[in-house]
Structure 1
Amino acid sequence: MRFSIIIKILGILLMLFSFTLLPPALVAKWYGEQEVAIFGYAFLITLATGFISWAPVWKVKQELRIRDGFLVTVLFWTVLATFGTLPLYLMKSPQLSFIDTLFESLSGLTTTGATVITSLDSLPKSILFYRQQLQWLGGMGIIVLAVAILPMLGIGGMQLYRAETPGPIKDTKLTPRITETAKALWYIYLCLTLACFLAYWLAGMSLFDAICHSFSTIAIGGFSTHDASLGYFNNSAVEAICIVFMVLAGINFALHFFAWRHRSIKHYFNDSEVKLYLWLLLSISLVAVLVLYFDSPYNLSESIRFGVFEVVSIATTTGFGTADFSIWPHFLPYLLFWTCFVGGCAGSTAGGIKVIRVMLIFKQGVREVQKLLHPNAIVPIKLGKKALPERVIEAVWGYFSVYVFIFITLFLAMLALGLDLPTSFSTVASCMNNLGPALGDAAANYAGLPDAAKWILCLAMLLGRLEIFTLLVLFSPAFWRR
């Protein structure tokens, strides 16, 4: 393990992250808030720590190996989340414990959207902006951003990109150079954020709310500046805009790249994963609308408005709310929660298992049935017209098996703490899938959960964001052998 280069990278990334604390400080200055000092202290502490880590090893020039990339990825997320607690820990009201600040910081960076903070409407604007900014930075992965910068400093980045990028297919580059790939992804991310902001603003949001909600919409994060989330605005145009951008952000960003490069949208309609993704959103929305219309106080227009919004929000693992879906009739709350297990497309900012994995698991099940009828038949699994290597299918099944095992383990751990069944199931599901909303005792927020539960859910958020294996590989003895 090349610890010198790892420490050097962490130092550089911490110094870069320290400068993201300046925009919230400017917001505090603009609104005349006392939090200017808080962000100033956080900036200096983070910058100094990064510099102290970087200075002794700044001359080190080594290429990262794959194992180094995994370690940097995990260390960076944990270290960054820890330093991200500083503004939240230093603020005077509300006073939060360390685990609460870590939970909030990690929830932001992993784009989970679960919160322990109540009375959001009374929080300083700078703190609200900071929470939204955490989600925006975490949405595409700060490490991917760093990959676009580190090569200019003489540090290779492909290993980091491979470790960070979600989905079962890791080695596909959009452009020949990883630096250009990372830059292309961020340009698309920025353009979508800008378009979302303008749409919100034109629809009637204030400038501040439009900026903040564009951050969390494109990041598929779910943090809001109001306790009532998007329901605060009671604006059908805002909700329609949100639906459009949640759906777009849940699509593989590689397809956005190809659409931009080739000036064509045919890639979307030729992609099997996108077609299944859109079909799931439409079919589950239809079920929700019908149930709400026939067995709730909503009329038809309200059933369509609230049903479609909540389905898209939960299915894409965004977590915005316009209605309290936890009290909806019959099976709807749990149906919505099961959709978050699927999540969005691979290569998107969404959480969940990912649509492509679910598709391949289904195809594998169909193949097993066919082989029972025709034992000697060779039945390849295809994605589009291309037969996939068996190694990919094995990797998908391996991921799914480990995912289920870890989910059950964390679920039982929550039950062991004395929490009820709906709370335990929904909080673990929400955090592992980077969703945010939950049922039971956490339906409003996570503040009332015991500290031990919050530690478990922090682990669940990290596992979900790093797609399990990136973190679990560190616990393998083979990883540390030379």
Structure 2
Amino acid sequence: MKPLVVLKVLGLLLVVFSATMLPPAVVSVIYDDGATAAFLKAFGVILAIGLAISLPIYRHRSELRLRDGFLVVALFWSVLGLGGSLPLIYAPDPEMSVTDAIFESMSGLTTTGATVLTGLDTLPPSILYYRQQLQWLGGIGIVVLAVAVLPMLGVGGMQLYRAEIPGPMKDTKLTPRITETAKALWYIYLGLTVACGVSYWLAGMTPFDAIGHAFSTVAIGGFSTHDQSIGYFESATIEMIAAGFMLLAGANFTLHFLAWHRRAPLAYWRDEEFRLYVGLITLVALTVIAALWLTGTYGDGRDALVKGIFQTVSIGTTAGFTTAEFYHWPPFIAILLLLLSFVGGCAASTGGGIKVIRVLLLIKQGVREVKRLIHPNAQIPVRIGNRSVNHRVVDAVWGFFSLYVASFVLMYLALAATGLDLVTAFSAVAACINNLGPGLAGVGPHYQDIPDAAKWILCLAMLLGRLEIFTLLVLLSPSFWRR
């Protein structure tokens, strides 16, 4: 462990993060909404803390090791969640408690989309913009952005990259150099954001709404500038645009790079994870559409079609946008959609959940074990496409799954102990650990009414989901701290 280099990186990243307070301050000046001082004060506090940490050890040069990378990522996301709450605490409108402000900040940065705020349509525009920006920054991970500049500061970035990028096959790089890899990911991310924003604008959104919703759509976040979310616009065109970009953002970004860089769109269909991703969402969407029509939830077949497709894609990718109160739909549909969020998006995407690649490996491992019962001595490899998967990757997936289930059960019991009913507690943990946002029953519309203790538990669930269990839980291992 190298504490000086960890502190140096943490301080530098906080300095970078402080600059993100300036755009919403500009928005506040433009709209004269009274929140300018809150953002400038937050900028000063975060910048001062970052400089106080990093300046005394700025000349210290050393390479990060893997365990240092895990510690930086865990510390940074925790501190960033706290720092991101400052404008919400300082702002005169809305009046938020410290717990609520941290919950909202953590939800935005982890792209969960669970909110304690109501009356969004009357909030200051700068606060609305800030919430959307938090999700955009958290979508692909501000740490990955920082990796592009760390080499210039005398700190290697590969360890951070491996700790931050989701999925079991983290060592796959798009380019030979990690700096170029980080840039490639951000170019794709920025390109999707611009395309999404322009599409929303052409479909009838105001520029403010188009930018805000583009941020949260590509980030698979789910925050909106309106209480009715995407349903506010009452536009099937906007809903289908959102569904399309959510599908793209929930796919593997390395696959986007390979397909676009090589001009080979068929690369998508050749990817086994992508086929399962699209196939599963399609199957669930058809089931939901049929169920909505057969139960008479929507008398108009067109409404059942549009709402069914949109909500399936939104929840299946863990975005969490809504156009209808799906938590009031027939229980079969609501539970099916919530279960779909456990699968989530692909590896190296902005989606949450267990990830499609892990589910695929679990299925293949299960099939292999059945075959082994018939042929005990056979050597049957697990394959993804034409490649055999190393047994250590399969073991890691099973380890992740077991820790995921254990973490889920413990937080479910803890939430139930706060007095929440079992459906609310179950769906709240599921929605937060999967970075989905909206749940069922008492947390369907918002999280404002649950106890403060439950909000802190769910903040931990959001962090565990965003950093994919291992990055946080590895810090609890005594061997991690041994030399």
Asked whether the two chains share a fold, i.e. TM above 0.5, the reply is yes
| 1:369 Cα offset (Å) | 1.0
AA at the equivalent of 1:140: I
Are residues 1:184 and 2:188 paired?
A: no
| 1:100 Cα offset (Å) | 0.6
Other structure's SS at 2:113 match? coil
AA at the equivalent of 2:245: F
AA at the equivalent of 2:109: L
Give RMSD over aligned pairs: 0.7
| 1:334 Cα offset (Å) | 0.3
Aligned partners of 1:228 and 1:62: how far apart in 2? Answer: 50
- In structure 1, the residue matched to 2:56 is 56
Instruction: Tell me if the contact between 2:84 and 2:105 (Cα under 8 Å) persists in the aligned partners.
Output: yes
| 1:353 Cα offset (Å) | 0.2
- In structure 1, the residue matched to 2:387 is 386
Are residues 1:336 and 2:337 paired?
A: yes
Aligned partners of 1:25 and 1:388: how far apart in 2? Answer: 49
Are residues 1:403 and 2:404 paired?
A: yes
Deviations 1:219-267 (A, max 9, x none): 0000000000000000111001000000000000001111221112121
- In structure 1, the residue matched to 2:479 is 478
Instruction: Tell me if the contact between 1:246 and 1:313 (Cα under 8 Å) persists in the aligned partners.
Output: yes
Matches within 5 A, 1:19-38: 19-38=19-38
Instruction: Tell me if the contact between 1:247 and 1:312 (Cα under 8 Å) persists in the aligned partners.
Output: yes
- In structure 2, the residue matched to 1:443 is 444
Aligned length, in residue pairs: 482
Instruction: Tell me if the contact between 1:296 and 1:329 (Cα under 8 Å) persists in the aligned partners.
Output: no
Instruction: Tell me if the contact between 2:46 and 2:83 (Cα under 8 Å) persists in the aligned partners.
Output: yes
Instruction: Tell me if the contact between 1:292 and 1:307 (Cα under 8 Å) persists in the aligned partners.
Output: yes
Aligned partners of 1:269 and 1:44: how far apart in 2? Answer: 48
Deviations 1:290-314 (A, max 9, x none): 0001112412100001011000000
> Which of structure 1's runs of 4+ aligned residues deviate more than 3 A?
none
Instruction: Tell me if the contact between 2:11 and 2:53 (Cα under 8 Å) persists in the aligned partners.
Output: yes
Other structure's SS at 2:320 match? coil
Matches within 5 A, 1:179-218: 179-218=179-218
Other structure's SS at 1:173 match? coil
| 1:93 Cα offset (Å) | 2.4
Other structure's SS at 1:331 match? helix
Are residues 1:422 and 2:423 paired?
A: yes
Aligned partners of 2:458 and 2:467: how far apart in 1? Answer: 14
- In structure 2, the residue matched to 1:117 is 117
Aligned partners of 1:405 and 1:287: how far apart in 2? Answer: 30
Instruction: Tell me if the contact between 2:93 and 2:124 (Cα under 8 Å) persists in the aligned partners.
Output: no
- In structure 2, the residue matched to 1:243 is 243
Aligned partners of 2:359 and 2:437: how far apart in 1? Answer: 21
TM-score by length of 1: 0.99
Other structure's SS at 1:446 match? coil
Aligned partners of 1:306 and 1:225: how far apart in 2? Answer: 20
| 1:155 Cα offset (Å) | 1.3
Aligned partners of 2:73 and 2:57: how far apart in 1? Answer: 19
Are residues 1:312 and 2:317 paired?
A: no
- In structure 2, the residue matched to 1:16 is 16
Other structure's SS at 1:449 match? coil
Q: Percent identity at matched positions?
A: 59
Aligned partners of 1:112 and 1:204: how far apart in 2? Answer: 26
AA at the equivalent of 1:287: T
- In structure 1, the residue matched to 2:100 is 100
AA at the equivalent of 2:375: H
Deviations 1:369-388 (A, max 9, x none): 11111111111111112111
Instruction: Tell me if the contact between 1:62 and 1:155 (Cα under 8 Å) persists in the aligned partners.
Output: yes
Aligned partners of 1:258 and 1:366: how far apart in 2? Answer: 30
Instruction: Tell me if the contact between 2:35 and 2:92 (Cα under 8 Å) persists in the aligned partners.
Output: no
Aligned partners of 2:363 and 2:297: how far apart in 1? Answer: 37
| 1:94 Cα offset (Å) | 2.3
- In structure 2, the residue matched to 1:434 is 435
AA at the equivalent of 1:72: V
Aligned partners of 2:360 and 2:239: how far apart in 1? Answer: 29
| 1:150 Cα offset (Å) | 1.1
Aligned partners of 2:48 and 2:411: how far apart in 1? Answer: 37
In structure 2, runs of 5+ residues without a counterpart are: none
- In structure 2, the residue matched to 1:322 is 323
Instruction: Tell me if the contact between 2:63 and 2:154 (Cα under 8 Å) persists in the aligned partners.
Output: no
| 1:415 Cα offset (Å) | 1.1
Aligned partners of 1:227 and 1:33: how far apart in 2? Answer: 19
Aligned partners of 1:131 and 1:425: how far apart in 2? Answer: 26
Are residues 1:160 and 2:160 paired?
A: yes
